[in-house]
Structures are given as C-alpha cells and as structure tokens.
Amino acid sequence: MPTLRALLAAPLVLTLLALGTASLPSEPHLTPASSYLPRLVVEGNAPAAAFLSRRDHPTPQETYRSAGPGIRPGDHFRAGSITKTFVAAVVLQLAGEGALHLSDTVDAQLPGLIRGHGNDGRRITLRALLTHTSGLYDYTEALPATDPAVTGAAGPSAQPLTPDTAVRTALTRPPVTAPGTYAYSNTNYVLLGLVVQRVTGHPYATEIQRRILTPLHLTGTTLPGARSTLPSSHSRGYHLSPGDGTLRDVTTTGPRIAGAAGEMVSTLADLTLFYGALLAGRLLPPAQLATLLNTRTAHGLYGMGIYPQKLSCGTTVWGHNGRITGSYVRTAATRDGRHVLTFRVNTDTLSDPGLEPALLEAEFCRPPSP
C-alpha cells in the first residue's frame, strides 16, 4: 500500500469516528471495529487514533467513538500523502481546461530539469507522474536516518526541503524501474507541484486553496510550507526513535520531506468531505473523474492520486493513505462518494497490521443501518 515513507511502528490507542450531516451524538454508535479497542490500549503516555465515516444512504449518519484521551473530533493533524489526491485533482482540472495535456512530457513543462543517471524528462509524461509509472527514484529514500524529517526534530536547521533539492536528490540515482512500470515515488508529485506552478503562475498550494479548499469550505485544511507547528486544536504526534526505541513527541516537526508529495494539514471532517465531493463529481467533469480512477496505466494498482482496494464482500473502496512523522491517516470511499471513512493515528505506523483492513471490512461490509 502506498506510503510517504516506511517508518517504524509504535504502540497506539484507537479512537473511532464516523461523520455525516447530523450533529455528533452523545452516545456513539458502535461498529464491529470497536472490538479492536482493547488490543490497542497501552500503558502510559501513548499515541491515539481516530476513525470517521460518512453514510449518505438511506439517511446521513454521524458517529464518534474514542478509546483513550488525546484526540478530539476537530483536531488538526498532518495528512501526509493524502496531499497527492488534491494535487492530482488540480492537475486534472487543468487538463480539462486545456491548460495542459496528460501526454505532455515533463521536459515540455519543465525544460531540462530531468537529466542524468539514465533519467530523461523527454521520455516521461505527466500521466506517468500521476500514476507512479515514471520510474523516478523516491527522493525520501535518500534522506539519512538522522534527518529531522525522520527523527522529528525541529529548529533552525530543520528547513523545508525545496522542490529543486528534492528532484536533484532523486536524480543522483538511476530509474528504479523501466518506464511504464508502477513504482510509488514521492518525486513524481513534487514534479507535479512544479508543473502546476509553471502552468498557472501560482504555487500549487494557492491553486489547491482556490480550486478545492475554498469551494468546499474546507476551513480546517492548510498547506503549511515551512511552518512546523499545528493549528489549534491538535493532539500530540509520536515517533519511535530508531536509536534507543523511545517514543518521542514530534508534534512540532520540521516538515522537510513533504511538499506537494505530502505537506497537507487537515481534519477528519475535511478529508471525509473532500473524498465524498471528489467521487461524487463535484470537483471534476465526468471525463476527468474517469481518468482519475483509471488504473490501467498502473496495472490496476493506482489511479491518479487515488487507489482502489477490493474488500472481501466484493465492495471496492477508493482513497489514499498518508504517512509522515508523527501521523498516519487513511481515507476510503465507495465509488459514488456516498459512504466515506477516514481514520488517523498520531504515530507513524500502525503497530497492528491487521487494523486497517479490519476497519475497512467492518465499515463497508456490514449491513446498512435500518
């Protein structure tokens, strides 16, 4: 499953949340996923998590459950690679407007930028960037374990990695696959951020704000750039130190590895509303939405900033996950956008690999409420 970067697991506590258009009930509705709660409770100052789902059929429903202190429904958190879905939506809007074509090469948009060690921007299209079939090396894999982006340190030396630096880092290595083969790489979306700026004359963050956040009233979502603090309210974020195995508080973090590949800060409600609106066709015309969800280029593994997952009951959900220092988040939705689930953990990685599939199965494979 795509991640921003593979990081070490840490213990956690789970909070479950489900969202619709009604107000939050005082007594949360329990789902089969709640059976996971006892397994995830740990002693001491442990991380926590949150789960949110929106069901619009037959009537909108909203549910919230917490299994441990520290997370509130409206908390802000780092959304990591979920940023990619927003970037892909902007690129496809620009394609629909004729401002660019997915068959354009990277070199046509960013002349001379991709050269060296077998990398050639004249052979890589925007479609390949969107679907992770460019073969470009993932620059985050070259960051040392002592880098603040990995350790969670913040301070004067923890400045954001610029897009140009990220690309130069990727170009120190040859392609990881032949063109046309799926290989998840954050470098692809850093380049797409540069393409958006070249085509529009505005930073990608400005275009995301103008085209998505403002129209959908996603007031809890920001692209913070160099800012290392989280807006109020927020819970703590934790990272398991690779050196001594201690659980570190990394709430204030220099977001060095993110950029257009994963810098976004958001809330459970905003992400749920975004994916519902995207899949319902509120952001893209039908042709562009079909292109977003077309997985043929990536051999069924990935669309454009979004990927499918087929569950045991036959339902296929669409969404993305995001992993960045101190945070893990996953959003999944039915194809029509009427049923959306978001959960997040304020640590880098789920300690129980069975948690995510169990939550998806419990939410999307259970019978609908009467």
pLDDT confidence of residue 56: 82
* CB crowding 234-250: b at 16 or more within 10 Å, else e: bbbbbbbbeeeeebbeb
Whether residue 193 is predicted with pLDDT greater than 80 in this model: the reply is: yes
pLDDT confidence of residue 314: 96
249 or 119, which is more confident? Answer: 119
pLDDT confidence of residue 113: 97
Average pLDDT over residues 320-333: 93
Instruction: State what percent of residues in the chain have pLDDT above 70.
Output: 76
Whether residue 8 is predicted with pLDDT greater than 70 in this model: the reply is: no
Query: Which 8-state DSSP code applies to residue 331?
Result: E
pLDDT confidence of residue 368: 58
- What are the pLDDT digits (tens) for 124-162? 999 999 999 999 999 988 876 555 555 444 444 445 578
Nearest residue to 220 via CA among 205, 230, 206:
230
pLDDT confidence of residue 156: 40
- H-run or E-run covering 320: strand 316-324
What are the structure tokens assigned to 354, written together? 């069975």
Window from 11-20, 112-121, 131-140 with minimum mean pLDDT: 11-20
Average pLDDT over residues 248-261: 79
pLDDT band at residue 278, thresholds of 50, 70 and 90?
very high
pLDDT confidence of residue 248: 84
CB atoms within 10 A of CB 178: 9
Average pLDDT over residues 321-339: 93
Q: In the beta sheet, which residues pair with residue 316?
A: 310
pLDDT confidence of residue 255: 59
- What are the pLDDT digits (tens) for 23-55? 323 333 334 444 544 344 433 455 677 777 788
Average pLDDT over residues 68-97: 91
Residue 81 annotated in active site: yes
pLDDT band at residue 204, thresholds of 50, 70 and 90?
very high
pLDDT confidence of residue 28: 36
Window from 75-79, 152-156, 224-228, 254-258 with minimum mean pLDDT: 152-156
- What are the pLDDT digits (tens) for 334-354? 999 999 999 888 888 677 778
Whether residue 122 is predicted with pLDDT greater than 50 in this model: the reply is: yes
Tell me the pTM: 0.87
Whether residue 20 is predicted with pLDDT greater than 60 in this model: the reply is: no
pLDDT band at residue 227, thresholds of 50, 70 and 90?
confident
pLDDT confidence of residue 181: 96
| Residues 6 or more apart in contact with residue 73 via CB below 8 angstroms | 17, 24, 50, 64, 268, 269
CATH dotted code for 15-364: 3.40.710.10
295 or 255, which is more confident? Answer: 295
Separation CA 235–CA 237 (nearest Å): 7
Active-site residue (options: 26, 34, 53, 81) = 81
What are the structure tokens assigned to 84, written together? 């990619």
| Residues 6 or more apart in contact with residue 165 via CB below 8 angstroms | none
Tell me the pLDDT of the chain averaged across its residues: 82
Whether residue 253 is predicted with pLDDT greater than 60 in this model: the reply is: yes
Query: Which 8-state DSSP code applies to residue 36?
Result: G
H helices then E strands: how many in the chain?
12, 13
pLDDT band at residue 97, thresholds of 50, 70 and 90?
very high
Domain ranges of the chain: 15-364
